[in-house]
Chain A
Amino acid sequence: MNMIVTPASPATPNGTTRPQVRIVIVGHVDHGKSTLVGRLLHETGSLPDGKLEMLKAVSARRGMPFEWSFLLDALQTERDQGITIDTTQIRFRTNSRDIVLIDAPGHAEFLRNMITGASQADGAVLIIDALEGVRDQTRRHGYLLHLLGVKQVAVVVNKMDRVDFSSERFKDISDEISAHLNGLGVKPTAVIPISARDGDGVAERTDRIGWYKGPTVVEALDRLEPARPLEALALRLPVQAIYKFDDRRIVAGRIESGSLVAGDEIVIMPAGKIAKIKTVESWPVTPVAGRQGAGRSVGITLDRELFIERGDIIAHAGTAPRETRRLRARIFWLHDKPLAKGDQLLVRCGPKESRATVVAIEKAVDPGELSSSENKAIGRNHVGEIDISLSNPIATDPYTENPRTGRLVIEVSGRIAGGGLVLSVDAGQRAVPVDIVPVESALRPDERSARYQHNGAVVWLTGLPASGKSTLARALERRLFTNGGSPILLDGDTLRAGLNSDLGFSATDRSENIRRLAEVATHLARNGHIAIVAAVSPAREDRATARRIADTAFREIHVATPAGICEERDPKGHYKKARAGTLASFTGIGNDYEAPQAAELVIDTSKRTVAEAADEIEQMLKTTGVLFDELVDLAANI
């Protein structure tokens, strides 16, 4: 069965458009949402020709009376269950608005979909059965709309025909729901008595509701304000990707707020690097002149080569977002397993992702009860306020300052498990105490490189256990030393015996282990040495941290020996123990190794001798400016 309604927002040939408003209709499952939607489509002339007649014929064939809700029950499964099961988008027009209706189901089990729908809405219609009055679920929906920041809420009291169009009954319900919504800081834009089935109050003030002087549903929809402009806010361009398809290095993303133009001085957060926008690239015409505003997907080139990665935020200097490792968020939880203090999560803020830990649960609320429960966990479909500690710094804004960048989602096992609004960011978590005064080296970098015939570098070997990292590292160390260089081996396991002996193998400890390795290696690199790090370093994000610390000195080598061969080699017997279940948190036999996507070099040691692999590394270090040419000549003469 098809259900097509007239497209409400056609880009007409002359290019004119009308304000588009996205709304959600929420309410208890039996209070008549689908009936209201069916009626609205009919009253606004949005139904395809013959649709009504066809449905009436289907109803007759099935021996049941026609219902307006049949219009929406488009799926066979829905007819089987007797409930609407998911968010549907339907479009229709009022006099001055194009309305996109996100039809959200009321059944508690599918509440997450309502949240999905409501989160995109500019306004909402809350529907209440005149006979049943304000129910728990009605209160819950009102509360969720408040939490999600939907400020324009029209209340519809349906099934007035069942209470003989009693103005007293209407007033009771109107007072009760208005008080509830006002208590939440939401002032209803209208409270409308209707009978969706008969049409009273939907598009017409009929005699039966002659005592009512307010707007009809269609009129109320017509008065909804579209979302406010984002262009007036500070520039936020979250980086989706860096493209090097040709000789251009294009930083691509969508401008979430503010605007930019070629020539702007920008700051890249969280690193805080400064650059100028050289061009704004496009296709088929490029470059494009003129200011680009919020909502545009753009690509820019910069006047200098900087290490930028997906998830960074480009802003204007002076109005940059705050960098933080800790924030407070108001979240709604959609996952089966309640969210508890100490839980490890993945937080996404635009394209940026970071692993995170729940440090505290400040509030946990069942929206139906409207009472704070014990602050230990946030259950499914509940909301709460939590403090999150992030393993990588992110740049973000409180949602009151920026509704686009001030929101996040939480993933559990690769699936979105909740969403939230950033209430506050705790800047300065990484601030260096003022009484620390770093002592600078007595030697200049060029003095060292003249002696060693190379620049300082961090050569980072990552790969599965037994992939050959340590063997390669040792071979490389020997070769560089033979050539007069100053290599220093930093083996992950060796450092765990001393510097990192306080760390275990939890995700947080692994991150800290990598951070320390990277800091030590970078210190060596800054002093002209080539630090060779051999560490499994399974998490992509941790390696990105290492790259950020070492910056331009970083050279990543993926030792990509096939897993089967690594397990066969197993020189330390770890695979065997892990298979036997006696070695926990072992990377290798699960899927927990995240291969690099843009390593400077990839080596499969099952296809190369150690000497060949060392040749390749040497060649890479030469072409990327670490080793000087003279060194190559020297090597050729040996």
Chain B
Amino acid sequence: MDHLDQLEAQSIYIFREAFARLKKIALLWSLGKDSNVMIWLARKAFFGRMPFPALHVDTGKKFAEMYRFRDHYGKEWDLDLRVEPCPPIDAVDPTLPPAARSAARKTEGLKMALAKYGFDGLIAGIRRDEEATRAKERVFSPRGLEGNWDVRDQPPEFWDHFNASPPQGAHLRIHPILHWTEADIWAYTKRENIPIIPLYLSQNGKRYRSLGDQDITNPVNSTASSIDEILIELEQTKVPERAGRALDHETEDAFERLRVAGYL
């Protein structure tokens, strides 16, 4: 078994545990490279079909390429796709810096979707290597009634035993690719031939390393126009993956505040 096989097997194990131990789960599909890999892994775990909905909490501000991707592959992969809107910006905590406030809309949209469907588990494609607060995450991570994350009182999780009993009304976040790195995602995408949104590839000397809302995501300087070239670039670069995400740079604790409130 090579490194990618090990990552894949671990993710499949997590998917199957979530499906066996929770009553009503959904996968959060952000349309980005990570959640596309997740869907692929889910289909591997369940032998071709994903037996729960793909939930797209739509800010309405994604790139056109992303919507095209969603509509095409939602059908091709036979997903039970649920698109849920986010509330207007006025409904969001006005003390947050502008980009964080914009991202916090997604948290609100997520809460509304949770209330609507009553999911007890949401599968999210976060990774430990992408952001410091995410490194503290559990694979099965309980969220309070308000969707909030209590970073100081996380249950112990070891030996692939997960805490799968959220209190009544609360839910769990499940993180099947928490142990992957950005380079792993690309190497696996290439090996499995998983389709990607072309925005990740260089055009006119720039490409997106991470895709979020159009107004708060910027491309990075890059000449990588294929996955192979991205992998070589990642070997060499020391620029953080989320460098193009405006919300990470507003204040030192903006991201942490968002996550405590229930952001991914």
Q: Say whether A associates with B.
A: yes
Interface residues in B46-79 (C-beta closer than 8 Å to A): 46-49, 51
Q: Is the CB of B240 within 8 A of A240?
A: no
Q: Is the CB of A293 within 8 A of B1?
A: yes
Q: Is the CB of A4 within 8 A of B240?
A: yes
A409-B132 CB under 8 A given contacts A10-B184, A77-B152, A241-B19: no
B82 within 8 A of A: no
A11-B184 CB under 8 A given contacts A89-B128, A296-B5: yes
Residues on A with C-beta less than 8 A from B146 are none
A interface size (C-beta, 8 A): 66
For residue A299, which residue of chain B has the nearest CB? B47
Of B10, B165, B253, the contact of A415 (CB 8 Å cutoff): B165
A414 to B140, CA, bound (A): 13
A591 to B165, CA, bound (A): 13
Nearest CB of A to B35, in Å: 18
B117 within 8 A of A: no
B183 within 8 A of A: yes
Q: Is the CB of A254 within 8 A of B13?
A: yes
Nearest CB of B to A83, in Å: 11
A4 to B241, CA, bound (A): 8
B16, B51, B168 interface centre (most CB from chain A within 10 Å): B16
CB within 8 Å: A-B pair count: 176
Residues on A with C-beta less than 8 A from B46 are 243, 245
A296 to B8, CA, bound (A): 9
Q: Is the CB of B239 within 8 A of A48?
A: yes
Residues on B with C-beta less than 8 A from A15 are 2
Q: Is the CB of A409 within 8 A of B159?
A: yes
A108 within 8 A of B: no
Q: Is the CB of B43 within 8 A of A416?
A: no
For residue A256, which residue of chain B has the nearest CB? B160
Q: Is the CB of A88 within 8 A of B20?
A: no
A116 to B161, CA, bound (A): 11
Residues on A with C-beta less than 8 A from B48 are 245, 283-284
Interface segment, one of B90-98, B107-115, B200-208, B227-235: B227-235
Q: Is the CB of A297 within 8 A of B16?
A: yes
A409 to B165, CA, bound (A): 15
Residues on A with C-beta less than 8 A from B252 are 1, 58, 76
Of A10, A77, A113, A241, the contact of B156 (CB 8 Å cutoff): A113
Q: Is the CB of A116 within 8 A of B47?
A: no
Of A6, A11, A297, A419, the contact of B188 (CB 8 Å cutoff): A11
A283-B44 CB under 8 A given contacts A9-B181, A293-B1, A414-B163: yes
Q: Is the CB of B156 within 8 A of A7?
A: no
12 A-B pairs in the complex with CB atoms less than 8 angstroms apart = A10-B234, A12-B231, A13-B231, A75-B256, A77-B152, A86-B136, A89-B135, A90-B135, A293-B1, A296-B5, A297-B9, A414-B165
Q: Which residues of B contact A (CB under 8 A)?
A: 1-6, 8-10, 12-13, 16-17, 19-20, 43-49, 51, 128-133, 135-136, 151-152, 154-159, 161, 163-165, 168, 181-184, 187-188, 190, 228, 231-232, 234-235, 238-242, 248, 252-253, 255-256
| 16 further contact pairs, Cβ within 8 A, besides A5-B129, A10-B231, A15-B2 | A9-B181, A11-B188, A76-B256, A86-B151, A91-B181, A112-B156, A115-B156, A115-B158, A116-B156, A243-B46, A286-B47, A295-B6, A297-B9, A297-B10, A348-B161, A416-B161
